[in-house]
Structure 1
């Protein structure tokens, strides 16, 4: 559903010659100069003097001008640090909880923490950050607070045995008693929930930070860079997980999980500091007051539901795809390493069914490293896809008029002409995303039949292609649409006849939060379904013949087929042609009713 009708842009604007123009006939004619393997320019999203946001860090030219490569790296590097924290939780979280004594069926219910917190926390943080009027910017305070909470909860989870055992030991309780073991599990689960709340807070801030600080014509490029940074973060995390870290970094901790948590904490803190220290947001304190409204849980849900009803058309379709896609992706993310590990231990368990608990623990620790190596291959495949695939993707924002203008200005260098030849005309970003869903479903179905470590590693590695598109395509499609609508919102806000109460264009924070709801809420279904499957099919730890994880993965593949069908219904974005008036452009984005 399109946003509610609002009054058109009011007031007169001055062009560069000083003559006034009616904004309803103000043509978008100035093309942007940009060369990118991801997209080509179509129009100047912000005419000089058309938007005045009062920023002390980004004036009009800085807001709309094409950003260089180093800017994109610094803008997105914080999400790479966050990914290290995710990589630790995804690759080692399940084995760590199992080592504490948690069963597979209960572990599946523990991981419901992620989707539960993602469904609620990210939209809530999005609303809070949209309404934030800090001089640091709207997103920076939440990035800082979320990062600090993530670091604390990561380290507390890694040292949960020492924290709980030491505290209860002071009370005279035997550290080896069954009660202490149960308490350790309960506290560990509590820290998992705190960790997921913290990670969702910083992730909501980072995603909106990237969108706010990047011009609309570079949103696809920014999200592609973000996916590359995520790939680098994954690789670092999985390489570290595949090494016997306590042997080399003993001063960080005496277990693999402890050292990984320290490394992830250092990476997150340093990258977030680098991003917010070099890329400054607009001074939000100079903006007008936030919309008035009552606080509280009821008001929060009212605003969320209201925003869901008026989601922009492309964003709505992407959210529908994401709902079904993530029913499949969630089990794959959390159980891939355990899937590989179960295959690895089978011959050892069959050859020696009377292994001691210590021998079983040692065997599964080795199996975890083998599974983490598969995730390393997965991360390398994902990064390679994000590096090279953009050169093959047909730009979504190109137009013949701009191509002609660039040729007239001599902008086509040998390199740009070479890159143009690499483009596959029919392979749009949306079609690549559809193919990625089909690849994922095929690999997940294959887990039912693959019984070798090498074959299973190959399957998980191929899934890296699908993961690369999942990190790129939906955010690129949504960000481009939101960014354009955000420019319209600022234009309205600068109009003297604007009534803020009638401004129904939602800002980046809440829209990205709703998108995350479409990612998080299906994970609840996936978690409950996984728990049911494990309840009937799992065998005790150390018992051969357990293939329950493969069944869970294959079930997720079925849902991904639905996502592929819905992706086929998304249209490749239709740009506003050269010379179209602003008012028509607003109507095209659903801001004005026809």
Structure 2
């Protein structure tokens, strides 16, 4: 029998459990890094630039790890070696980050932490595609969303719990990270490693031969003729490469000629980097050197399946909204709802702690949404379910400017939680059904470009937008994030979903 067998509930549970730990670290990062940066002296309009370490790291690491994991097979398996080593380094980074003596050390630790989390996280997406048949993939990704929600709830609440339940101080001298944050990061490092170890030792993986047999059987069942992929020529790579390099150069010149904020130079670097990648791919193609990872990643990026290209637009606007919230939620809530900008004051730190509670709340709602989403997908289809959830997220972010009592922001987090759970499951469930098994890892890595690129653009432009359009009032960045969710919902309408749900 060459049909991929369906897994039991507990098998799906075990293969997803590691995400609880990964999200524990990710949630501590999201809820507290801006606080750490501001405590170490970062101005509010520099926060987006400092956060760029995370998406730039993802842009470099994810496709490399995806490509490597597709080619890996050893005693630990295909994806599990990356789960393990990424978790070890992420745990060490969590232990050290709150002890950073300077702002730039903290920024460097964010780079290391995010790279390590990506090494573990990226193969988890491909793992679901490897192990589950099409009919169970919505369940598999929803289970990941459930553990993401549970892990993030506890992680986001930790500093608040430390202060309000255990009596640990949430204030410190100027330039010093409070003990409540330090202890939270220590606990997070331990939980991250232990949860990933559970998945590593409680699961098995199909061999490359088994996966090839499953893929052949699937193709026979569909009775589909081989799809001929139109391959770009070396000249085409070169022409597009030059165009992107020129565009990047023009943006860089504009930064200096018009005195634009320094963050915009990163956007110039992104354009130039895409151009250089195409030039390198064109050169390799012209010399017949197409068997290496650099060319293969470039080829797959510029020849992605149609469904993946459609989902890229959805992901772009979804993650632009999320990144807006992660960067500016602390600044927006402390300035708009708590009416303070003094980072050493008790009022500011109470507000920052409350943001941790809000982040925990939306992740808690996401855990509940993960149970509902497979049922919603059966009724409305995966696209319909995703559109509804993105609209709920938009309502949640836009309501921040309407609600003045910070306690009632918990209601806003219901919508954000449903959007978050859906973003972590629906696009991947749709995408995995359109990808070949032998390239599941590299395509999942490339797909994450469309998480990373909006983060880089947000980091490059949000500081400028904050000052020029919103007069330095961070609350309006959250409203802009809500509008971005609505654009993502509209883009979902054109997505072609090739899979089916059980």
The offset of 1:73, in angstroms, is: 0.8
Cα distance in structure 2, aligned partners of 1:245 and 1:386: 30
Q: Does 1:390 align with 2:374?
A: yes
Query: Could you say which structure has the larger radius of gyration?
Result: 1
The offset of 1:247, in angstroms, is: 7.2
Q: Alignment partner for residue 7 of structure 2, among 61, 67, 70? A: 67
Q: Alignment partner for residue 195 of structure 2, among 260, 271, 275? A: 271
Q: Which residue of 2 aligns with 1:235?
A: 153
Cα distance in structure 1, aligned partners of 2:454 and 2:421: 20
- SS in structure 2 opposite 1:428? helix
Q: Which deviations, in whole Å up to 9, do the C-alpha atoms of 1:332-383 show, x marking residues without a partner?
A: 133334432333421x78xxxxxxx78x432222111112222222122212
Preserved CA contact (<8 Å) 2:52 2:456: yes
Q: What is the Cα-based RMSD across aligned positions, in Å?
A: 3.1
Cα distance in structure 2, aligned partners of 1:435 and 1:236: 27
Q: Higher relative contact order at CA 8 Å, sep ≥6: structure 1 or structure 2? A: 1
The offset of 1:440, in angstroms, is: 2.5
The offset of 1:91, in angstroms, is: 0.9
Counting matched residue pairs gives: 420
Q: Which residue of 2 aligns with 1:507?
A: 439
Q: Alignment partner for residue 301 of structure 2, among 277, 292, 308? A: 308
Q: Which residue of 2 aligns with 1:421?
A: none
Alignment of 1:438-517 (within 5 A): 438-482=391-435, 485-486=436-437, 507-517=439-449
Cα distance in structure 1, aligned partners of 2:205 and 2:64: 20
Q: Which residue of 2 aligns with 1:207?
A: 125
Preserved CA contact (<8 Å) 1:136 1:284: no
Q: Which deviations, in whole Å up to 9, do the C-alpha atoms of 1:152-197 show, x marking residues without a partner?
A: 1111112223xxxxxxxxxxxxxxxxxxxxxx11111111111111
Q: Does 1:144 align with 2:84?
A: yes
Cα distance in structure 1, aligned partners of 2:107 and 2:157: 26
Preserved CA contact (<8 Å) 1:434 1:564: yes
The offset of 1:98, in angstroms, is: 0.6
Preserved CA contact (<8 Å) 1:80 1:271: yes
Q: Does 1:133 align with 2:51?
A: no
Alignment of 1:117-266 (within 5 A): 117-161=57-101, 184-244=102-162, 248=166, 255-266=179-190
> Scaled by the length of structure 1, what TM-score is found?
0.65
Cα distance in structure 2, aligned partners of 1:141 and 1:390: 30
The change in CA–CA distance for 1:535 and 1:301 in structure 2 (over 3 A counts) is farther
Q: Which runs of 5+ in 1 are unaligned?
A: 1-47, 51-62, 162-183, 350-356, 395-423, 487-505, 539-545, 577-594
Preserved CA contact (<8 Å) 2:122 2:444: yes
Cα distance in structure 2, aligned partners of 1:438 and 1:109: 28
Q: Which residue of 2 aligns with 1:522?
A: 454
Q: Which deviations, in whole Å up to 9, do the C-alpha atoms of 1:124-174 show, x marking residues without a partner?
A: 11111112232321212211111111111111112223xxxxxxxxxxxxx
Cα distance in structure 2, aligned partners of 1:212 and 1:240: 34
The change in CA–CA distance for 1:447 and 1:273 in structure 2 (over 3 A counts) is same
> Scaled by the length of structure 2, what TM-score is found?
0.76
Q: Which residue of 2 aligns with 1:13?
A: none
Q: Does 1:376 align with 2:360?
A: yes
Cα distance in structure 2, aligned partners of 1:277 and 1:513: 24
Cα distance in structure 2, aligned partners of 1:566 and 1:286: 36
Cα distance in structure 2, aligned partners of 1:381 and 1:130: 34
The offset of 1:279, in angstroms, is: 0.2
The change in CA–CA distance for 1:528 and 1:372 in structure 2 (over 3 A counts) is same
Preserved CA contact (<8 Å) 1:340 1:374: no
The offset of 1:78, in angstroms, is: 0.4
Q: Which residue of 2 aligns with 1:92?
A: 32
